[in-house]
Amino acid sequence: MARKTFDELVEEYAAEEKAAQNETEPVETPEVEPSVEDNHTEPTPEPEPAPVNEEPKTEEPPKDDPKADPVIDEIENTNATIRKRLEKQAKSYEQKLADKDAEWQKKFEEFKSQFEQKKPEVKTRDNFEHDEEYVAYLTQQQIDKDRAEQQRIKAEQDEEAAKKKAEEDAAAAEVKSRQTRFLNNIEQCFDGEARDTFMARLKYAHSKGFGELLDANPAASDYLLSSPKGPLVLAKLLDTSNPEYFRRVFPVGGINPLEQFSELKDIERTAVAERNGTVEAPAALKKPATIGRPGAQGSGGTGGNPMSDPKARLDYVRKVMGY
């Protein structure tokens, strides 16, 4: 059997491949047999199908912008302003810190240079010819050390005293400012004889410990001494004809600061209304009428327990209730 040539093997392989392709994928177009010059030429490959022209994609029209929201715009503008202000403050603060660090670094360098210059030379026994000279040197070193320690202690004491004096001066200035404001408020609230009467009554109350009571009630103290209407309310509190005002603000059992301030403001409204002549004093604060004991009047009365008499007890209840 003759051996097949290479060209024959190629033709045979191409034919087998073409037959397998025809079996798996049906071809609609008729096959075109390639022209072969002789039995030893390769068949021409089938032309590739022309690419399908894809339709050009049309760009979608831009969507309409959402409606303007003035509230959101205002929020964004406000936040932007706040951010800028915070950034400015942060930069300013960082710059101040950097300047302060540079200042302290400069002071430290100056102190370091001065310390290095003043640092005494440490000597040993070898630097002296006699023992007496070395002992005198050590003694002087100890004296200098003690003197430096005393100077350090004195400097700390002076610094503490200066700090304490500054705090006392600040406290005194605050007290002076409150006194001046209080006196100005008195001038605005009272005139002539009324002012003299109020000051005399206030001085007498102060001698009886009213200042200590105010110190124990800072909310009332701040209001009475700082508010423009404080003297009017204070005059009501010190009014001997109606101590109910005082009991409302300073009850024996104590009072919450918020409730105390509310009572003060309520008394202020009453005092201002009375000064302007618009309303009378609240009826709840007027002195109640004195009601005699049941059974004390009438035929003979009784010296024992009046509530033991049913008729007297009923008459008393009716009189209290007003019917």
- Say which residue the tokens 């000064």 belong to: 275
Q: What does the block give as tokens for 215?
A: 């110190």
Q: Are 238 and 202 in contact (CB under 8 A)?
A: yes
Distance separating alpha carbons of residues 184 and 288, to the nearest angstrom: 37
Check residue 315 and give its pLDDT.
66
35-86 pLDDT tens trace: 444 444 455 555 555 555 555 555 555 555 566 777 677 777 888 888 888 9
Helix axes of 131-189 and 192-207: crossing angle, nearest 10 degrees: 130
* C-alpha separations of 271 from 91, 230, 278 in Å: 53, 10, 10
Other CB atoms within a 10 A radius of the CB of residue 259 amount to: 13
Where in the chain are the domains? 125-174, 190-284
Q: Are 15 and 7 in contact (CB under 8 A)?
A: no
Q: Are 219 and 261 in contact (CB under 8 A)?
A: yes
Q: What does the block give as tokens for 19?
A: 């037959």
Check residue 54 and give its pLDDT.
53
If we measure between CA atoms, which residue out of 238, 157, 244, 226 comes closest to residue 185? Answer: 226
pTM over 0.85: no
Distance separating alpha carbons of residues 200 and 191, to the nearest angstrom: 14
Other CB atoms within a 10 A radius of the CB of residue 205 amount to: 17
Distance separating alpha carbons of residues 17 and 49, to the nearest angstrom: 19
Q: Are 63 and 35 in contact (CB under 8 A)?
A: no
Q: Rg of the chain over CA atoms, in angstroms? A: 54
* C-alpha separations of 78 from 71, 81, 84, 85, 144 in Å: 10, 5, 10, 11, 65
Distance separating alpha carbons of residues 317 and 294, to the nearest angstrom: 9
Distance separating alpha carbons of residues 231 and 209, to the nearest angstrom: 18
Q: Which residues of the chain have pLDDT under 70?
A: 1-4, 6, 23-67, 71, 115-120, 278-323
Q: What does the block give as tokens for 109?
A: 């360098």
Question: Please, which residues have CB within 8 angstroms of residue 237's CB and are 6 or more apart in sequence?
Answer: 224, 245, 246, 249, 250, 267
Question: Please, which residues have CB within 8 angstroms of residue 258's CB and are 6 or more apart in sequence?
Answer: 219
Distance separating alpha carbons of residues 249 and 214, to the nearest angstrom: 11
Question: Please, which residues have CB within 8 angstroms of residue 215's CB and are 6 or more apart in sequence?
Answer: 221
Check residue 185 and give its pLDDT.
92
Q: Are 249 and 263 in contact (CB under 8 A)?
A: yes
